[in-house]
Amino acid sequence: MLDLSIILPFHNEADGVRHLFHRLYPVLHSLDVTYEIICIDDGSSDATFTALQYEREKDQRLKIVRMARNFGKEAALTCGLHLAQGRAAITMDSDLQHPPEVIPDLIKEWRKGGEMIFAIRNNRNTDGQLRRLLSRAFYAIFRTIADIKMPEGAGDFCLLDRKVIDAVNTLQERNRFMKGLVSWVGFRRGVVPFDVEPRLGGRSSWNFFRLVRFAFDGLAGFSTLPLRIWTWSGAIVSLMAIGYGIYLIIDTLVSGVDVPGYASMMVGILLLGGLQLLSLGMIGEYLARVFTEVKARPIYFIADRIGFTE
């Protein structure tokens, strides 16, 4: 059995492929391990696939999967974990934001007995202001309402022991929020700090809307609080309405009919209307996710696989 499977998702990273391996190989060779490198071309529209094939000619331990289309990074990582044969797998970004030089530290922690080792980013200097703010907000919300504990600053740069890989591979859900799934299965943890590097070339595949959707996927996959919260707000608002109703009746009985009241009525209607729409929308978000789960479509389709036996 191989010691290590390196799992790399690629989406339009053709320019970076050469630099990546230029830095990855010296690290791997300095370690005394047998390895395979699983490269997943996640529906790139540039020359990523050709570049990967070219790299394979130099080292046959590099294996390539070409996805049928762009299924997203989470699907690509899922695919990598399905195919990995190592005693441990390391997932990392292919744009060199996750420096390969951290790998020996991950392995050291693994040999000390850790079963899932997260590389924790020391800083977010490479992200824009807005993104940093939003991501901090997301983690704060996630920590308070989600059912699992995710280490702060953990990304998809981590080492997973075979036990963890097998556990994650049994999870059937379509909504693949990998950091969450990996934390959810449990096992002994370790952390290794590292400095995120600027993107090597190309552009980040995440825009604002994709990130928001991703964040909500994460929350909805691991917490039902956004759904249940409406029961409580509904109960509180109803109680207040009943109280106000009683007050109005008594007031009318005591001091007669009082016609004005337009302002309070409008406020009540608008506020409640807003709350109702919001809660309906929240239910819709979950329903949409239930819908995708129920359809039970495969998480990805592979168009080509190169270097895998059978």
Query: CA–CA separation, 95 vs 16, rounded Å?
Result: 6
Looking at the Cβ atoms of 36 and 42, the one nearer to ligand UDP is: 42
Looking at the Cβ atoms of 5 and 94, the one nearer to ligand UDP is: 94
Looking at the Cβ atoms of 175 and 204, the one nearer to ligand UDP is: 204
Looking at the Cβ atoms of 210 and 297, the one nearer to ligand UDP is: 210
- Position 95 contacts Mg ion (CB under 5 A): yes
Which of the stretches 89-97, 103-111, 182-190, 302-310 binds ligand UDP when contact is defined by CB under 6 A? 89-97
| Alpha helices by DSSP H, the chain | 17-30, 48-58, 73-83, 103-111, 129-145, 162-170, 178-184, 208-222, 225-255, 262-295
- Report the partner that residue 41 touches, choosing among Mg ion, ligand UDP, none (CB closer than 5 to 8 A by kind): none
Which of the stretches 4-12, 91-99, 151-159, 275-283 binds Mg ion when contact is defined by CB under 5 A? 91-99
Q: Which of 4, 21, 35, 73 binds ligand UDP (CB under 6 A)?
A: 73
- Position 13 contacts Mg ion (CB under 5 A): no
Phi, psi angles (nearest 5°) of residue 155: -120, -150
Number of residues that bind ligand UDP (CB under 6 A): 17
Looking at the Cβ atoms of 42 and 95, the one nearer to Mg ion is: 95
Question: CA of 22: how far to CAs of 56, 58, 77, 140, 305, in Å?
Answer: 13, 12, 22, 37, 23
Question: What three-state secondary structure class fits 11?
Answer: coil
Maximal C-alpha separation, the chain: 93
- Position 161 contacts ligand UDP (CB under 6 A): no
Looking at the Cβ atoms of 111 and 203, the one nearer to ligand UDP is: 203
What b/e readout covers 123-156, taking b as 16+ CB neighbours within 10 angstroms? eeeeeeeeeeebeeebbebbeeebebebbebbbb
Segment 97 to 136, residues that bind Mg ion, using CB under 5 A = 97
Residue 51 backbone class (left: φ over 0; alpha: ψ -120 to 50; beta: rest): alpha
**Bridge partners, residue 49, by sequence:** none
- Position 13 contacts ligand UDP (CB under 6 A): yes
Query: CA–CA separation, 208 vs 106, rounded Å?
Result: 31
- Position 95 contacts ligand UDP (CB under 6 A): yes
Q: Which of 15, 25, 70, 275 binds ligand UDP (CB under 6 A)?
A: 70
Segment 198 to 217, residues that bind ligand UDP, using CB under 6 A = 199, 204-206
Binding track, positions 162-201, relative to ligand UDP; x by CB under 6 A: -------------------------------------x--
Between the CA atoms of 113, 193, 180 and 140, what dihedral angle is there, to the nearest 10 degrees?
130
Looking at the Cβ atoms of 100 and 190, the one nearer to Mg ion is: 100
In the block, residue with structure tokens 């608008």: 270
Q: Which of 5, 7, 9, 180 binds ligand UDP (CB under 6 A)?
A: 9
- Position 65 contacts ligand UDP (CB under 6 A): no
DSSP string, 50-112: HHHHHHHHH-TTEEEEEESS---HHHHHHHHHHH--SSEEEE--SSSSS-GGGHHHHHHHHHT
- Position 72 contacts ligand UDP (CB under 6 A): yes
Q: Contact positions toward Mg ion, by CB under 5 A? A: 93, 95, 97
Q: Contact positions toward ligand UDP, by CB under 6 A? A: 9-11, 13, 42, 70, 72-73, 76, 93-95, 97, 199, 204-206
